[in-house]
Amino acid sequence: MKFLRFSLPGLSLATLLAGCRMMSIDDQVASSPREIWTPVASAQPAQPLTFAPISGNVSGAELSLPTLIDLALSNNPQTRAAWHDAKSAAAQLGEANSAYYPTVSGNLAFDRNKVRTVGVNGSTFAGTTYSTTYGPSLGINYVLWNFGKREAQTEAARQALYAANYLYNQQIQDVILATELAYFNFDAAEGFVAAAQAILDDANASLKAADQRLSAGLGTKQEDLQASAQVSNAEYQLEVAQSQVETARAQLALSLGIPVTDKLNIQRSQKLDSSAKIDDDISQLMALAMRQRPDLMAAYATVLEGEHNVEAAKADEKPVISAISNLSYGYVSAGVTHGNPQNNYMVGLQVSWQIFTGFEKTYAILDAQEREDAAREVLHSQELKVVTDVWNFFYSYKNALRQVDSTNAQVAAQQEAFNAINTGYKAGLNTYVDLQTALSSLATALQQQVQAEATLGASIANLAHATGNMPAGQAGTAK
C-alpha cells in the first residue's frame, strides 16, 4: 500500500496557488461594444447623491441681478473648486518653505544577535555568543547650501500660488459673466412673451373687427378666416415664447449653481439707458485689460514659475552642503555580562553629490526649459486673446447701442402705422391684407427691440469681463 504525504507548507502553497487566478478583463467591462455596462455595487455611491443646500433664499421676493450674482458666488461649485485649488497652492508653498528648516528624525532600536564561532584546526575560539542592544537615537540634518535650489523651488511655488489666486479671481468673473448673460437671456425670453402677448391681443382685436365687418356685410368670409388664422399663429408664437422662458430659467439656475425650480422669481431688468455711453476709447480699454485681466496675470505668473523651476533643476546638478548631527543612547548586554550604557554623539559637515544619475538631471533641465517656453507661448496667446476680446466686445457694444436706438424708433413707427391702418380697416379705407402686414411688421419690430436690449446688456457684461472688471460691490464677496 502506498501513502501520499503532504507537508503543511506544501498544502498551504497549493491552496494559495489554487486561489490565485488571472482576472478576466471580459468580466470587468460590457460584454460587447454595443451594450451598456451594468455598474457593480462597489462602483455606486453608498448613499444616493442629493443636491447640496442652497445658500440664500430663492423664493419670495423678486431676485434682482445683484442678488443673483451673490447667489451664484455662494453656490456655484466652480468658484469653490478654484478656491480650494488656491488653498492647495498655498499649502504647496508652505511645503517648499519647509526646506529652510532642519529635518529631525528619531529612532528606537532593539536588536538580538547570535554569533556562532566554529573552531578550525583545534582552535579554542568556538561557541555561541548572544547579545542584546537597545536604545534611542536622534539625527539632525540641515541643508546649508544647495546652490539656490531651495530658493528657486520656493519662488516657483510662490508664483504657482499667485497663478492659482489669479485663476480663482478669473473664475469669479467667469461665474459673474455667465450669470449676467443667463439673466439677460431670461429677461429677453420674458420680453418675447410680452411681445407675443401684445401681438395676440392685437390679433384678437383684429379678429373682432373682422367679425363685426362680416356681420355688417362690409367684410368677407376670407378676411374673417385670415384673422382667425392670425390669432392661432399668435397663440402658437406665445406658446413658443413661454417654453423659451423655462429653458432660460434652467440655464440661469445652472449658472447660479442651484437646481432649477419654478420658485426662481426673477425681477425684469429696467431698460438700459443707451445714452450713457462708455467714454474710454479702445486703446485705453486694451491697456486696462493688459493690466488687470486675471487669466493674463495667471499666465505671466506661470512663466515666472517656469523660470524658477529651470533654476531649481540646474541647481540640482550641484552638490549639497549640510550640517549633520547624531545623538544616541545604547545599552548592550552579552550573555551574563551586562555592559554599561553608551552615549554617542556626532557633529559635522557633509557634502553630497550625485555625480551620475543616468542623465536624469539633464532631462529634468530640458523638461523645465520646455515647460517654461510653453508657458511663454501660452502667455503670448493669452495676450492676443485679450486684445481680440476687447476689440470684439467694444464694437459689439457700439453696434448694440445703435441697434437699441434703431429698434426703439422702429417700434414707435410700426405701432403708429398699425394703429392708423387698424382705424382705416374699421372704416373700410384699408384692406385686411394691409392690417395683416402691419401686424406682422409690428411683431417683428417688437421682437427685434427685445433682442437689441438683451444684446446691449450682454455686450456691456462681455466688455467688462474682457477688460477684467467686476460689477461694483462684488469683489471679495465670495467666502
CA–CA separation, 464 and 176 (whole Å): 10
- Range in 59-73, 232-246, 269-283 with the lowest mean pLDDT: 269-283
Question: Contact, 202 vs 231, CB < 8 A?
Answer: no
Other residues' Cβ atoms within 10 Å of the Cβ of residue 158: 20
- Predicted confidence (pLDDT) at residue 225 exceeds the cutoff of 80: yes
Burial 431-463, CB ≥16 within 10 A → b, else e: ebebbbebbebbbebbbbbbbbbbbbbbbbbbb
CA–CA separation, 183 and 170 (whole Å): 20
Q: Is the sign of the CA dihedral 78, 80, 83, 85 positive or negative?
A: negative
Confidence label for 62 from pLDDT (cuts 50, 70 and 90): confident
Other residues' Cβ atoms within 10 Å of the Cβ of residue 99: 14
Rg (CA), the chain: 40
Confidence label for 263 from pLDDT (cuts 50, 70 and 90): confident
Question: Nearest to residue 246, comparing CAs of 270, 262, 258, 222?
Answer: 262
CA distances from 5 to 1, 8, 9, 11 (A): 13, 10, 12, 10
Per-residue pLDDT tens over the stretch 349-401: 999 999 988 999 999 999 999 999 999 999 999 999 999 999 999 999 999 99
Question: Contact, 122 vs 90, CB < 8 A?
Answer: no
Question: Contact, 138 vs 328, CB < 8 A?
Answer: yes
Question: Contact, 349 vs 323, CB < 8 A?
Answer: yes
The per-residue pLDDT for 474 is 44
CATH architecture of 65-117+133-466: Up-down Bundle (1.20)
Cell of 306: 517656469
3-state secondary structure of 316: coil
End-to-end CA, the chain:
85
Cell of 27: 468580466
Per-residue pLDDT tens over the stretch 80-121: 999 999 999 999 999 999 999 999 999 999 888 887 877 666
- Predicted confidence (pLDDT) at residue 249 exceeds the cutoff of 80: yes
